[in-house]
Amino acid sequence: MIDFDAYVKYSRPGPRYTSYPTAPEFGEHFGYDEYVNELKNRDKSRPLSLYFHLPFCRSACYFCGCNVIYTSKDDKKERYIDYLQKELEILSTHLDTSVPILQMHFGGGTPTFYSATQLDRIINLIKNKFSNFMIDAEISCEIDPRFLNEEQIQVLTSHGFNRISYGVQDFNDKVQTEIHRIQPYEVTKNAVDLARKYGINSINMDLIYGLPYQTLKSFKDTLDKALTLDPDRLAVFNYAHVPWIKKNMRKFDETTLPSPKTKLEILKYTIEFFTSNGYKMIGMDHFAKPNDELFAALKNGTLHRNFQGYTTKGGTDLIGIGVTSIGECKRHYAQNFKDLAEYEKAIDAGRLPYSKGIYLSDEDLLRKSVIMSLMSNFMLDIKAVEQEFNIDFFTHFKDELKELDSLREFVEITSNKIEVNQTGSMLVRNIAMCFDEYLKKIPENLRRFSKTI
């Protein structure tokens, strides 16, 4: 039996570790010329993963932490496609685009805010530059079920899209009203049925806990409804309340947000609910059916984590394309301009819209390996780390292991491995934070991250 009141003390500001070092460490010290040089000289034995950011939405969802531009004007979307075309032209002069593509993902914004014709144009532009898609390539798109029609699904599937992720968040009417996203169950069901009709055999559904007016009782009803749609995967995210970054979040009355104790109860119930209904927990916030490749990757320790969440496609270099996109190669992270005007200005000058990034030191690579293994697999193979990085783990991380002592009830440490237990999986961010060299330099009261619980 978990003592939720005692657990609450672990609710601290902390990263989600979609990268390490985390995005606040990105800066201009890793300059444009260095970035371009990295692209030109990358290891061509590594396949590519492509991320395209399509930033437009018709209206604001108040919980959203994404980089979004609100518009109802079609000419803005057409203009953006023109600039994507120009960016691809410039990129192809710095990057060998003939190498195999193992993964492509459309995110946003609302990618299906674009019409079927516009989506077709975007995909053809991409395939004009990147034509070497592998037979088992994962090609996926985030979709708001409120903006989806049959013509769009036809375009996506005709171009080989094989995974879809539907944003749902919560089925409760009161919660939907408060977060400014009215999305009846029938709308989501119709979207799922449409994807199944056209042969999409991997459907993910995003839910969020920690939203205004959510209770354990109300979220149980949301989980019941989600289960009737039989998704192949689910991502159940902890709402990141960061009103100092996202102004739309200031619309919430913070007294209506569930307490850390309630959020823990919701998370614990969610884990029990899905695991008792045929799903396996993957990482800190994903669930998948046992026949899903995510589960196989978890079992053999090859699960990876990046800006799109958990993936089986490790060993790739991620290239971010579009405003605000983030790329990740073996030795660097790179982010495009967040401001649309700056993005366009760079492209008009014949340059990639690179804004900032970071080059990873040997120590960064070591700590990234440790943190991502814990975040992805709830386990760290100490001997493998020692062999790869030529260190004595217990000497190198003696201070970190001392810090980890405060969480010893959640981890088992032997000479060979660190393993997070089932209860500790709810605190895996806290566990990973012990190995974050950059975080230690920031006083806790100045850490501008969401709470871990």
Q: Report whether the peptide linkage leading into residue 322 is cis, meaning its omega lies within 30 degrees of zero.
A: no
Helices (H), 148-306: 150-158, 173-179, 185-197, 216-228, 260-275, 293-299
pLDDT in tens, 374-383: 998 889 999 9
Residue 89, Cβ density class (10 Å: 0-12 exposed, 13-18 middle, ≥19 buried): middle
Angstrom distance (rounded) from CA 88 to CA 415:
49
Query: Tell me, what amino acid is at 207?
Result: L
Residue recorded with tokens 């003696």: 398
pLDDT surpasses 70 at 164: yes
Residue 416: CB partners within 8 Å, gap ≥ 6?
A: 381, 382, 383
**Tokens encoding 74:** 């079609």
pLDDT in tens, 48-88: 999 999 999 988 898 888 888 888 788 899 999 999 999 99
The pLDDT assigned to 450 comes to 76
The pLDDT assigned to 115 comes to 95
The helices-and-strands tally (H runs, E runs) of the chain is 16, 19
> In whole numbers, what is the pLDDT of the chain averaged over residues?
92
Residue 291: CB partners within 8 Å, gap ≥ 6?
A: none
DSSP string, 291-338: TSHHHHHHHTT--EEETTEEES--S-EEEEESTT-EEEETTEEEEE-S
The pLDDT assigned to 43 comes to 92
60-69, 78-87, 221-230, 295-304, range with the lowest pLDDT: 295-304
- Which domains, ranges and CATH numbers included, belong to the chain? 4-8+19-321 (3.80.30.20), 361-441 (1.10.10.920)
Provide the pLDDT confidence category of residue 392 given band limits of 50, 70 and 90: very high
Provide the pLDDT confidence category of residue 310 given band limits of 50, 70 and 90: confident
How many residues are listed for the chain in this entry?
A: 453
pLDDT in tens, 423-449: 888 889 999 999 999 998 887 777 778
Angstrom distance (rounded) from CA 287 to CA 52:
25
Distances (CA, A) of 325 to 121, 253, 290, 295, 310: 20, 31, 32, 28, 18
Q: List the one residue out of 31, 55, 65 whose CA is nearest residue 339.
A: 55
Residue 371: CB partners within 8 Å, gap ≥ 6?
A: 17, 20, 432, 435, 436
